[in-house]
Structure 1
Amino acid sequence: MNTKPSLDGGSDFMKSAEAQESPPMRNYLCLTMFTCFCPAWPINIVALVFSVLAQKSYYEQDYDGSQRLGRKALHLGIVSFVIGLVIITACIIVHFTTHVV
């Protein structure tokens, strides 16, 4: 591969490599691992799987697929966190409002 140097001393190949910088990885792994402690188990596991798949796609340089899977992991993580809070709140309310005779 024979490239001509440009006027500033760099090659065109180096400029094209710099122009194709990878976007930041957003797999939300910490969020999905945190939501695994919430009592919405099936949704938590699916969010964790999407997060790991997003990381795998990023390392395979499939940036569009990684962003898509990362967004799904984020949305499922938020949903599982909200459902978990609702379940925990309902259990606390039932526990403290029932009277044992």
Structure 2
Amino acid sequence: MSSGVQKSDEKSRGSIDGSINNSFGMTAESQEPPPLKNYIFLTIFTCFCPAWPINIVALVFSLMSQSSYDAEDYEGAQRLGRKALHMGITSLVIGLLIIMVFSIVHFTTVLI
């Protein structure tokens, strides 16, 4: 009567010998952990920019992402990795702006 019963029967239909074929369904044991994206190289690179507080925070977020991934908290690791990416990009942009402003001021001043 219900279409839900027919769908569940189709999903659990076994093979000819009576065994249930689970190759099409994902089980908890067969799921691979997502790849780690902590952007450690970006955050280390931004430590050379003159935006010190921001790039240190980006590095801390990146390291926290690694430790969350090691503790098998994959959602937390992804969230912290995104924060590290955003803070790293912000640090890079601010650092480049500081370098550009310093260069413009330095090369356009007239020494008497």
Whether 1:17 aligns to 2:24 is no
Q: How does 1:1-80 map to 2 (within 5 A)?
A: 16-18=28-30, 20-80=31-91
- Report the Cα offset of residue 17 of structure 1: 1.5
Q: Which has the higher helix share?
A: 1
- Give the letter aligned to residue 47 of structure 1: A
Partners in 1 of 2:93 and 2:34 — Cα distance? 29
Which residue of the partner structure matches residue 92 of structure 2? 81
The aligned residue for residue 3 of structure 1 is none
Runs of 4+ in 1 over 6 A off after TM superposition: none
Deviation, 1:16, is 3.8
Taking structure 2 as the reference length, what is the TM-score of the superposition? 0.76
Matched residues in 2 for 1:70 and 1:16: separation?
24
**In structure 2, C-alpha distance between the alignment counterparts of 1:7 and 1:55, rounded to whole Å:** 38
Gaps of 5+ in 1: 1-5
Based on CA coordinates, which of the two structures has the bigger radius of gyration? 2
Q: 1: distance between equivalents of 2:40 and 2:102? A: 28
2:105 to 91, 94, 97: 94
Aligned length: 90
TM-score normalised over the length of structure 1: 0.84
Residue deviations 1:4-36 (CA, integer Å, cap 9, x gap): xx567x9xxxx5421x21000000000000000
1:94 deviates by 0.5
**Matched letter for residue 70 of structure 2:** Y
Q: CA RMSD in A?
A: 1.4
Task: Write the distance in 2 (CA, Å) between the matches of 1:42 and 1:88.
Answer: 16
